[in-house]
Amino acid sequence: MMDEDFPTDFQVIVVGTGMVESIVAAACSRIGKNVLHMDSSDHYGGLWASYNFEGLQKFIKEVNSDPDRQKQVYNLSEKWFIEKESAQGETTDENKGEPRKVWSQADFAAEYRKFNIDTTPKLLFSRGPLVELLISSNIARYAEFRCVTRVLTWLNDQLMPVPCSRADVFATEAVGIVEKRMLMKMLTSIVGYSEEEMNNEFKDWNNKTLKEYLTHKGLTPNLIHYILYAIAGGNNSLPCLEGVKECKKFLMSLGRYGNTPFLWPMYGSGELPQCFCRLCAVFGGVYCLNRPIDKVETKTVDEGKTVVTIDSKSKKLNCDHLVIGVHECPEELMSSEPAESCDISKAVFVTNGTIMASEKEPLTLLRFPPLADDDNAVTVLEVGPATGSCPKGLFVVYFITKKTKDAESDLKPYAERIFDMSGGDQTAATDKPKCLWSLFYNVKDTSSPVSSVVDNVHVCSGPDAGLDFDRAVEQAEQIFKKICPGEEFLPRAPNPEEIVFEDDVTHGPEFQREQDEEAEPKE
Amino acid sequence: MQKIQIKRKECTLDKELLELTGNVLSSNPDIYTLWNIRRDILQLFKKSNDNIEEMSQVYNAELHLTEYCLKINPKSYCAWHQREWVLLTRDDPDWQKELELCNTYLKLDERNFHTWDYRRFVVSQCKPSLKDEFDYTTEKLMDNFSNYSAWHYRSKMLVELYPDRKGGRPIEDSHHKHELKMVQNAAFTDPDDTSAWFYQRWLLGAVKTTIDLVNYTVTPTKNTFAFSKHVDKNYVSAKTKLLINNCVVNGEWVSCTGNCYDVLWIFQHSTPITKKINIKVEYEIDNGQKQIIQGVECKEMFYIGKNQIKFERNYSEAVIEELKDQLESCRQLLNLEPDSKWTMLTTTIFLHCIDAKAYHTEAIQNLQKLKVIDKLRAGYYDDLIAKWCIEKQLCSDYENADLALKFSFPSPVSSLPYLQYYSYCDSVDLSNQQLTSNIFPSLIVLQHCKKLSLENNNLTTMKNFPDLDLVELNLLGNEKLDRNEIELFTKKYNFNIIY
């Protein structure tokens, strides 16, 4: 609650706590700007937020009851596959000797806090811009990460592991011996290309697809499948050079932290905007949740400077720069250039087991090639209790694809391939995990950058359908550069122990410099 | 350091000295002398101290120091050795802890051969399950197969765990196949990783081998016996019996070089050798059976017994099948990468192992190609060419009764293996090769040679020329030979020397 002597003038006001907004807020605050960061909800993250189970139920209710919300999230449909109340006691699974819990809806409600379900689940490339940013700014210490343990694909009607690293290629039995050589050769050459060499090697392939290139190189269909769908994450029409760059991105991130190129934040992707908010606050940023805005105006004051004024709950707030999420921004401030967009189809499932057995609890990225001709590729992320996403015994599985028809029609056929969606006896032995709960929804694609009609209003895009945060980081940096030209983008923030006060007082014992260079993901 | 040296001289081996040496070693663990001093001190402590607990603590402190030093230099010979010494000296060694220490160090650097060596030591003391050790190498190789030490250790385990007792082979069939497959995976995933190729060569060589008596020559003046491998006097006298007219001849065995182990042995006896006598040799082979090699009078009073010889390795059917399979894949890979040295070499070795006779021409052609692709090892390929060509020639030469030897090589050679196989020859033509004077010592096996031609070679000196009973020696076409040296040489020997 803002009281009477709360300041009303800021250098930067940020509206919305999505990823782009939060990075910008942190960057501005870090270099000394006076920042106010607001959000109309009672929680952080906006469209990038994560919810516990109760919070998610609330989200679903809100969306379904508010047509305005449905401009962003629509076709929302939730389904239970389990009983409302618990049956008597637990049944012991004879084979495992461990009690296999029979879940009821009431159980979910009782353990609601143990769920952290993302509306925008994403992975981090180990050598990608976000990880580098987290390290260079030292924001990494606000979060913990786990390694994605395996990458899978759907091949020959079954789940198959994708050999990505040298050790994988060596050990896999799914690939013939000469194929192994071809695969390694292709992967090593892709990683080895410098920017110049790459443009040179592929200059004759500008109008062709990656698939055509791989075929031309004599790779067998299986290998093409692995490289095209699983490693490059593309489909048949992926242009050649773009595909090769995607491969290189994947391969370069291998081995930094684990056997796959990816990290997943503990407690979900929704943690990340919060990390940036935290840094913003540390450097003096002011935070206000539950603060919707009513009106935005621009005013030219003396010396030709433009000031932005926000009306919020009868307070007038002024700033030099307004950073605002695309969903909060009044339409009249946005330029009406038609942007290319393709809405996103998403789904979340809670299941009672992993899609493919594994010794230790897995963290899986599954890339489905399109099952039907007109389909898009589907990305699946399976996370388990060790990531803090759900209670023990369950898994949370996310599906993402570009919308063709609607979320349920787009994604159900894929879900049915890997889950048992028949409901029924949870203890029955099946080769697929049982789906206990599902949620389908579509998200309007607001990921294209939007320019505003005023110079000092900066519009932040929403989430894209991609796997990583790269676009968000890129956009945040661009916005920051406009607001603070010539300033450093998130320079390393010192650890508290590193701060030595220069006083005329006798110095105590020297503080030790902390050695940590990198965020350490939990094994 | 001075203080240390003084104290040592004075023999004050005490706690202070322990402390001093410890401090120095903490910064530089590789001063061997200081570890020595510490061992002296600890031994003194042990003598004067019966208390096991106290000594245990002393030993633990020592181990702690080695661990600290290994952090600084994980490849310090001294530190590892000290650790070994402590473990062997103390009464209460904790081998499990040592094994775990190895695991930890191997996690940090799985290729540190010191650690693997230490592991072998620990394993030899506490004898854990060999299968567990074997599985450990599998685990390490799955993580990163570019690990020579792991393959090497694995080879030791393999032979102990899965020998083929029935077939008498070092490795049981299914495992031999499995290993060949595994190493093929490594080789194809990364053909530039040499550790896999070496392991493969070892696998191919892991066959039962025999020591054969390849020929013998009996004349009135000299009786020579040639073997496929170097053997010693006890072996020769136990396994070999000369029979003249069905009577065993007693005599003395002398090596032709005077060494303990030799490929050519001379049998000295007093039984006269005349015309048309029945000469036989009984040779005892591996399973106790006796081979009878009949002598043939090729010239007057010159009896030669030639045994069946073969150079093919004794692989089982299953392994041959696997090799043929892998040969196919190698050929495919060669199509993709014609300049890959290892693929070419392995293809060639496979050809030789599967059927040396049938694939001889192709194999030799490959070796010629390899000399171009892999220039630095041209000499190695040359030697291999010589070896395989002689093997081929030997098979046909042993079928005929010719006493003259002339080699036919695709190009001049500089090495001559298997010469003892030709010890019976009276005329040896080594002309037009690339032999240097280094070849001389090996010519000693040509004990019955009368005419020797070394025309058109690269001889530079006559030093170390063997003591042979020659009639004629041809040295023409060796431009680098010093005339004076030859003249001196001529004076020494009374056979005809052409130069």
On chain A, the residues whose CB falls within 8 A of the CB of B144 are: 166-167
On chain A, the residues whose CB falls within 8 A of the CB of B200 are: none
**Does residue A501 lie within any of the structural domains?**
no
On chain B, the residues whose CB falls within 8 A of the CB of A169 are: 189
Give the one of A170, A185, A218 whose C-beta lies nearest to B185's C-beta.
A170
> Which tokens in the block code for residue A510?
């020297």
The residue segments making up the domain with residue A187 are 123-146+162-264
Task: Note whether B329 contacts A178, CB cutoff 8 Å.
Answer: yes
Helix, strand, coil shares of chain A, percent, nearest 5, are: 30, 25, 45
Q: Of A166, A252, A258, A163, which Cα lies nearest the Cα of B193?
A: A166
Q: Considering just the CA atoms, what is the radius of gyration of chain B in Å?
A: 30
Residue B289 corresponds to which amino acid?
Q
Three-class HEC string of A272-312? HHHHHHHHHHHCCCEEECCCCCCEEEEEECHHHCEEEEEEE
User: Which residues have CB under 8 Å from A169's CB, separation 6+?
Assistant: A163, A175, A180, A183, A184, B189
Q: What percent of chain B has pLDDT over 70?
A: 100
Confidence of residue B310 (pLDDT cuts 50, 70, 90): confident
Task: Note whether B185 contacts A177, CB cutoff 8 Å.
Answer: yes
**Does residue A2 lie within any of the structural domains?**
no
Shortest Cα distance from B142 to chain A (angstroms)? Answer: 6
Question: Is the pTM higher than 0.80?
Answer: no
On chain A, the residues whose CB falls within 8 A of the CB of B142 are: 167, 170-171
Q: What is the CATH number of the domain that holds A31?
A: 3.50.50.60
On chain A, the residues whose CB falls within 8 A of the CB of B143 are: 167
Task: Note whether A166 contacts B190, CB cutoff 8 Å.
Answer: yes
On chain B, the residues whose CB falls within 8 A of the CB of A178 are: 188, 329, 332-333, 336
Phi (first) and psi of residue A186, to 5 degrees: -65, -45
| Residue B353 at interface with chain A, using a CB cutoff of 8 Å | no
pLDDT in tens, chain A (523 residues): 456 667 888 999 999 999 999 999 999 999 999 999 999 999 999 999 999 999 999 999 999 998 888 888 999 999 999 988 876 655 544 455 555 688 999 999 999 999 999 999 999 999 999 999 999 998 988 899 999 999 999 999 999 999 888 888 998 988 888 899 999 999 989 988 888 888 888 888 888 999 999 999 999 999 999 999 999 988 888 999 999 999 999 999 988 888 899 999 999 999 999 999 999 999 999 999 988 888 888 887 767 667 778 777 778 888 999 999 988 888 888 887 767 788 999 999 999 999 999 989 999 999 999 888 778 899 999 999 999 999 999 999 999 999 999 999 999 999 999 999 988 888 877 889 999 999 999 999 988 888 888 888 999 999 988 899 999 999 999 999 999 999 999 998 777 666 666 554 444 444 443 433 344 454 4
Mean pLDDT, range B99-106, rounded to an integer: 90
Residues A241 and A140 in one domain: yes
Residues A100 and A242 in one domain: no
On chain B, the residues whose CB falls within 8 A of the CB of A185 are: 336-337
Instruction: Report the distance separating Cα B100 and Cα B106, nearest Å.
Output: 10
DSSP class of residue B55 equals H
**Does residue A228 lie within any of the structural domains?**
yes
Measured CB to CB, residues of chain A less than 8 Å from chain B are 166-167, 169-171, 177-178, 180-182, 184-185, 218
Q: Are A120 and A236 in contact (CB under 8 A)?
A: no
Buried b (16+ CB within 10 A) or exposed e, A270-281: bbbbbbbbbbbb
> Which tokens in the block code for residue A397?
């599985």
Residues A331 and A456 in one domain: yes
Task: Note whether B188 contacts A171, CB cutoff 8 Å.
Answer: no
Q: Are strands A457-460 and A315-325 parallel, antiparallel or unpaired?
A: parallel
> Which tokens in the block code for residue B24?
């120095």
Give the one of A169, A171, A178 whose C-beta lies nearest to B333's C-beta.
A178
Residues A129 and A253 in one domain: yes
Is the backbone of residue A354 left (phi > 0), alpha (psi -120 to 50) or beta? beta
**Does residue A497 lie within any of the structural domains?**
no
Residues A438 and A454 in one domain: no
Instruction: Report the distance separating Cα B96 and Cα A116, nearest Å.
Output: 42
Instruction: Report the distance separating Cα A507 and Cα A500, nearest Å.
Output: 9
**Does residue A142 lie within any of the structural domains?**
yes
Phi (first) and psi of residue A224, to 5 degrees: -60, -40
Residues A228 and A249 in one domain: yes
Total number of domains constituting chain A: 3
Q: Of B451, B463, B466, B460, which Cα lies nearest the Cα of B478?
A: B460
- Domain finish residue from A234, A264, A294: A264
Instruction: Report the distance separating Cα B145 and Cα B150, nearest Å.
Output: 8
Residues A326 and A226 in one domain: no
B283: Cα within 13 Å, side-chain hemisphere: 23
On chain A, the residues whose CB falls within 8 A of the CB of B327 are: none
Q: Are A29 and A285 in contact (CB under 8 A)?
A: yes
Shortest Cα distance from B350 to chain A (angstroms)? Answer: 17
Q: Are A382 and A366 in contact (CB under 8 A)?
A: yes
Q: Are A352 and A434 in contact (CB under 8 A)?
A: yes
A77-to-A51, A382, A408, A437 alpha-carbon distances in Å: 17, 20, 8, 11
Instruction: Report the distance separating Cα B130 and Cα B157, nearest Å.
Output: 7
**Does residue A504 lie within any of the structural domains?**
no
**Does residue A157 lie within any of the structural domains?**
no
The 8 Å CB, 24+ separation contacts for B413-416 are B413/B382, B413/B383, B413/B385, B413/B386, B413/B389, B414/B379, B414/B382, B414/B383, B414/B386, B414/B439, B414/B458, B415/B382, B415/B383, B415/B386, B415/B387, B415/B439, B416/B386, B416/B390, B416/B442
Chain B (325-344) residues lying within 8 Å, Cβ to Cβ, of chain A: 329, 332-333, 336-337
pLDDT of residue A505: 47
Per-residue pLDDT of B329-343, as tens digits, reads 889 888 888 888 888
Shortest Cα distance from B329 to chain A (angstroms)? Answer: 6
**Does residue A488 lie within any of the structural domains?**
no
- For the question of an ipTM over 0.85, the answer is no
Q: How many CB atoms lie within 10 A of CB B304?
A: 22
| β-bridge partners, B103 | none
Q: Considering just the CA atoms, what is the radius of gyration of chain A in Å?
A: 25
Task: Note whether B144 contacts A167, CB cutoff 8 Å.
Answer: yes
Give the one of B142, B189, B329 whose C-beta lies nearest to A184's C-beta.
B189
Mean pLDDT, range B8-14, rounded to an integer: 73
Q: What is the CATH number of the domain that holds A196?
A: 1.10.405.10
Chain B (278-317) residues lying within 8 Å, Cβ to Cβ, of chain A: none
Residues A328 and A470 in one domain: yes
How many A-B residue pairs are in contact by the CB < 8 A criterion? 40
DSSP class of residue A121 equals -
Shortest Cα distance from B374 to chain A (angstroms)? Answer: 21
Residues A203 and A279 in one domain: no
On chain A, the residues whose CB falls within 8 A of the CB of B180 are: none
Confidence of residue B416 (pLDDT cuts 50, 70, 90): very high
Q: How many CB atoms lie within 10 A of CB A297?
A: 13
- Domain finish residue from A421, A444, A467: A444
Residues A215 and A360 in one domain: no
Instruction: Report the distance separating Cα A362 and Cα A152, nearest Å.
Output: 11
Residues A329 and A359 in one domain: no
Q: Are strands B472-474 and B496-498 parallel, antiparallel or unpaired?
A: parallel
pLDDT of residue A510: 42
Q: How many CB atoms lie within 10 A of CB A142?
A: 17
Q: What is the CATH number of the domain that holds A349?
A: 3.30.519.10
Residues A241 and A170 in one domain: yes
- Domain finish residue from A444, A472, A499: A444
Give the one of A170, A178, A218 whose C-beta lies nearest to B186's C-beta.
A170
Q: Which helix (H) or strand (E) covers residue B44, if one does?
A: helix B32-48
Chain B (187-206) residues lying within 8 Å, Cβ to Cβ, of chain A: 188-191
